[in-house]
Amino acid sequence: MRLAQRMESVPRSYIREILKVTAQPDIISFAGGLPHPASFPVDAVASAAASVLEEAGPEALQYTTTEGFPPLRQWIADRYKRQGINVSPDDILITTGSQQALDLVAKACIDRGGKVVMERPGYLGAIQCFAVFGPDFVTVPLTPRGVDTDALRQAAGDAQVFYAVPSFQNPSGITYDEQTRREVADIMAETGCLLVEDNPYGELRFMGQHLPPVRAYASAPSVLLGSFSKVVSPGLRLGWVCAPQEVLNPMITAKQASDLHTPGFTQRILHRYLMDNDVDTHIASIRARYGAQRDAMVQAIRQHFPEEVAYTEPEGGMFLWCTLPEGISAEALFHKALERKVAFVPGRPFYVDETDDTFRLNFSNSSPELIEEGIARLGQCLREYLGR
Amino acid sequence: MRLAQRMESVPRSYIREILKVTAQPDIISFAGGLPHPASFPVDAVASAAASVLEEAGPEALQYTTTEGFPPLRQWIADRYKRQGINVSPDDILITTGSQQALDLVAKACIDRGGKVVMERPGYLGAIQCFAVFGPDFVTVPLTPRGVDTDALRQAAGDAQVFYAVPSFQNPSGITYDEQTRREVADIMAETGCLLVEDNPYGELRFMGQHLPPVRAYASAPSVLLGSFSKVVSPGLRLGWVCAPQEVLNPMITAKQASDLHTPGFTQRILHRYLMDNDVDTHIASIRARYGAQRDAMVQAIRQHFPEEVAYTEPEGGMFLWCTLPEGISAEALFHKALERKVAFVPGRPFYVDETDDTFRLNFSNSSPELIEEGIARLGQCLREYLGR
């Protein structure tokens, strides 16, 4: 057989492989990136599904438009307006989860050999997705205030795309401060590099000052991605792209070619759910839950981790990021931790090089009690591993 | 902005653009490829959705595996066994409609500049999807018995993929006879070209002898695509790939990168529907409906079309294909027909060249009465246009 060469350089998702190992019920897993199932509005989705089929009938099960269900696109545009971002529903394309938006970005915006600037560390789903299209990756480091803007200015000059997760980044938990957001917006305008801003966690802030997306500061066209996975349900696979027409048009063509359209059935159910329920109250309850879990994790780390292990203290989102002393392998630690029935994700897949002294902890999917117990086990493991 | 070059050579779907023009309620449209909405099991899907959420609860709304819902993959494998095709659920990957399967085929099997053999005419969704990846298209003509096997043997030698719709082809309605299926299977084994067999209409045979997919005759590995769009509902966007591990593995990686996974919610609903209902009786009712509509269309064409217009008489599926006398433009006819409030799809987008003397008629979405009226209008139009 003569298969395509492009897949040879694309890694199978490390996390999804790890999840198979860590799925045993006696393991406390901070490895995945799963929302807490108690946050899913099961009954409300059931009501919405019944209403949709009763009211729209066969239309809910027919082929529909590539762009997405118009009332859902309207809802998204209206919500942006509340953040000071003026867009029309015509600027919104519904996608099969925001992972698909990355595929469409790659198809429409990234040439083979084209330069793509990534945060370091960066979201592994984006690294994997873009890798299919053979770009030339360049990375810029993250600082506690966000991306290193001097490095970004250097890198962006001849790049096609800068991919960023400015709020509660996956994997680091870092959030760009306001000054960094303004600078990033300026650098994009100066260089003609297209900002692709991924914002799946933006609504999940537990503390600190709310900041709008970089898009709100931008004078140049940019692409903004959103998702319902973290605020309603990931299993519905509903996300979106918000972009000006010159970028959205080739993405719509790419979407037609990729799956014709996202299921109209799930789009209508979600829209009905959003109409019939107070989504802000729902999101506030998720914030309260994850905030408590985040606090439990930070406190447990303070108590149980050796001092040489550095960690971020995220103001929102789902992840916290740890850095080991130089030269210490997180992969080796991972295997030792598994013996103690606790799991995390070693940092390597979040780099385009082979860096191996960091790891990611997820706090959205475990109760404070499990977090305390799991971090205590991991602390014990770290002390032994570091010889303390 | 520095957008990607690849989308410049990809056409926006002609049909989806045409559908916007032909959507006015006073137009009788044979342009789309829509299943009849009366065939959608709305109440049964509503019951299935309620059961899924009641029984699986939050799990139905959580992230799930890339490969798909295991019981649904089992159901598909079991159904293949009844056709003499022995595959395991591990050979099945659930996709977001079978259009996505084409995207995954392209990613895993088609290099930029790689040779892809297409039927002539060929399915425009595949032409569009593959075009994103910049292959070198080569076409082989269709005869009333199926693909021209001499031409295929010539073309397949150094090709990566032969894409075929052997049963009730879209757009032509042509079905490969048994001898042609055997020859295609042999040619693939001889040449090492990978058969990608798309079979969305295989269960919709109205007359003639049932034939299994070419896959059943194949000794070499091949890829077989299937879809629930034509037998249950297109709005659920559920299709699949059946392929041996060496082809399926890179496709699973590509699927992770493309949208992580198809919604678990809709997969569970479909599986529940398949368990709780007699799907064979349901499909028989669709066959009866489309068969009557096909008969109405063939009869009306006999009565109303000028003799110089050739047409296929499909034994199943959703489409019938007409050929005008040489040099007569179907595009021009399309505009004249619109004035008379009847629509079809001109053949041009089904070719990789600019051939313009054919057109496609859909019979699945209109009642026999509308078909009789629409074909009478089109016949009148043809007589005037051809000067009879």
CA distance B377 to B379: 5
Q: Phi and psi at residue A347, in whole multiples of 5°?
A: -75, -15
Give the closest-approach CA distance of A207 to chain B in angstroms.
Answer: 26
Contact A61 B160 (CB under 8 A): no
- Domain match, A109 and A248 both: yes
pLDDT-derived band at B163 (thresholds 50, 70, 90) equals very high
Residues in chain A with CB shorter than 8 Å from the CB of B194 are 1-3
C-alpha A388/C-alpha A324 separation (Å) is 14
Q: Does A55 touch chain B (CB under 8 A)?
A: no
Closest residue in B to A238 (Cα–Cα)? B263
More confident residue, A355 or B71: B71
What's the rounded mean pLDDT across residues B304-323? 98
User: Cα separation of B120 and A246, whole Å?
Assistant: 33
- Cβ pair B237:A16 closer than 8 A: no
For residues A185 and A255, state if they share a domain. yes
Which residues share a beta bridge with A227?
A239
**Last residue of a domain, which of B250, B276, B302?**
B276
- State the smallest CA–CA distance between residue B358 and chain A in angstroms: 23
Last residue of a domain, one of B276, B307, B329: B276
Amino acid at B194: L
* Shared-domain flag, residues A79 and A168: yes
Helix axes B42-56, B264-276, angle to 10 degrees: 120
B253 close to B95: Cβ distance less than 8 angstroms: no
C-alpha closest to that of B361 among B315, B329, B323: B323
Q: Evaluate whether A60 touches A52 at the Cβ level (below 8 Å).
A: yes
Which chain B residue's Cα is nearest to A244? B1
Does B244 touch chain A if contact means CB atoms closer than 8 Å? Answer: no
Identify all chain A residues contacting B234, using CB atoms and an 8 Å cutoff: 61-63
Q: Could you say which DSSP state residue B316 is in?
A: B
Pairing of strands B342-343, B28-29: parallel
* Per-residue confidence (pLDDT) for residue B144, from 0 to 100: 97
Parent domain of B330: 6-40+281-385
> Does some domain include residue A335?
yes
- Please say which residue of B276, B293, B319 terminates a domain: B276
Contact B1 A263 (CB under 8 A): no
Q: Does B349 contact chain A (CB < 8 Å)?
A: no
Bin A163: left if φ > 0, else alpha if -120 < ψ < 50, else beta. Answer: beta
Question: Which residue in the set B2, B233, B257 is minimally distant from A103, CB to CB?
Answer: B257
Output the pLDDT for position A137. 97
Q: Along the 388 residues of chain A, how does pLDDT read in single tens digits? A: 899 999 988 877 777 677 777 778 899 999 989 999 999 999 999 999 999 999 999 999 999 999 999 999 999 999 999 989 999 999 999 999 999 999 999 999 999 999 999 999 999 999 999 999 999 999 999 999 999 999 999 999 999 999 999 999 999 999 999 999 999 999 999 999 999 999 999 999 999 999 999 999 999 999 999 999 999 999 999 999 999 999 999 999 999 999 999 999 999 999 999 999 999 999 999 999 999 999 999 999 999 999 999 999 999 999 999 999 998 999 999 999 999 999 999 999 999 988 899 999 999 999 999 999 999 999 999 999 998 6
Out of B13, B53, B125, the one facing A46 most closely (by C-beta) is: B53
CATH of the domain at A339: 3.90.1150.10
Question: Chain-wide mean pLDDT for chain B?
Answer: 96
The CATH number assigned to the domain holding A234 equals 3.40.640.10
pLDDT of residue B49: 98
Residue B47 contacts A, CB cutoff 8 Å? no
Residue type for position A191: T
The phi and psi torsions of B120 (rounded to 5 degrees) equal -125, 110
Q: What ipTM was estimated for this complex? A: 0.96
B235 and chain A in contact, CB less than 8 A? yes
Answer yes or no: is A49 within a domain.
no
Tell me which of A136, A265, A282 to substitute to probe the interface with B (most B C-beta atoms closer than 10 Å). Answer: A265
Tokens read off for A269: 């159910």
Chain A touched by B258 (CB under 8 Å) = yes
pLDDT of residue A139: 98
Q: Say whether both B95 and B221 belong to one domain.
A: yes
**pLDDT value at residue B19:** 74
Residue B24 binned pLDDT confidence (cut-offs 50, 70, 90): confident
Instruction: Count Cβ atoms below 10 Å from residue B326 Cβ, excluding itself.
Output: 7
> CB–CB of B135/B113 below 8 Å?
yes
Looking at the domain assignment, is residue A46 inside a domain?
no
Tens of pLDDT along B225-274?
999 999 999 999 999 999 999 999 999 999 999 999 999 999 999 999 99
Q: Which two tokens stand for residue A279?
A: 């989504």
Is residue A176 located within the same domain as residue A206? Answer: yes
* B170 in Cβ contact with B123 (< 8 Å): yes
Residues B270 and B285 both lie in one domain: no
In a domain, A47, yes or no: no
A110 in reach of chain B (CB within 8 A): yes
Q: List beta partners, residue B362.
A: B319
List chain B residues with CB under 8 Å of A103: 257-259
What is the count of structural domains for chain A?
2
- Minimal Cβ distance to A235: which of B63, B131, B237: B63
Contact at CB, A3 and B61, closer than 8 angstroms: no
Cis ω on the peptide bond leading into residue B71 (within 30° of 0)?
Answer: no
Instruction: Establish, for the pair of chains A and B, how many residue pairs have beta carbons separated by less than 8 Å.
Output: 267
Contact A254 B7 (CB under 8 A): yes
Same domain, B206 and B320: no
The reply to whether B159 and B209 lie within a common domain is yes
Question: B288 and B311, same structural domain?
Answer: yes
Residue type, B242: C
Is the separation of the CB atoms in A27 and A338 below 8 Å? Answer: yes
Give the span between the Cα atoms of A119 and A13, in whole angstroms.
18
CA separation, residue B279 to residues B83, B141, B270, B286 (Å):
16, 35, 11, 11
Give me the residue label for tokens 């879809």: B227
- Do A326 and A205 fall into the same domain? no
- H or E stretch covering B211: none
The answer to whether the peptide bond before residue B121 is cis (omega within 30 degrees of 0) is yes
Give a yes or no: residue B49 inside a domain.
no
Asked if B7 and A132 come within 8 Å (Cβ–Cβ), the reply is no
Residues B314 and B362 in one domain: yes
User: In sequence order, what are the residues at sequence separation of 6 or more whose Cβ sits closer than 8 angstroms to the Cβ of residue B141?
Assistant: B120, B147, B148, B151
pLDDT value at position A337?
95
For residue A14, being part of any structural domain is answered with yes
With beta carbons under 8 A apart, name residues in chain B contacting A192. Answer: 1-2
State how far the Cα of A338 lies from the Cα of A329, in Å rounded to an integer: 15
Identify which of B12, B103, B235 has the shortest CB distance to residue A263.
B235
Amino acid in the structure at residue B277: N
User: CA B199 to CA B213: how far, in whole Å?
Assistant: 8
Query: DSSP string spanning A230-248?
Result: TTT-GGG-EEEEE--HHHH
**Chosen from B162, B258, B289, B364 to mutate, greatest number of chain A CBs within 10 A:** B258
Is residue A190, in this structure, part of any structural domain at all? yes
Whether residues B130 and B271 fall in one domain: yes
In chain A, what is the straight-line distance between the N-terminal and C-terminal CA atoms, in Å? 54
Q: Is residue A237 within 8 Å of B259, Cβ to Cβ? A: yes
B365 contacts: CB under 8 Å, gap ≥ 6: B29, B32, B34, B35, B36
Whether A48 is in a domain gets the answer no
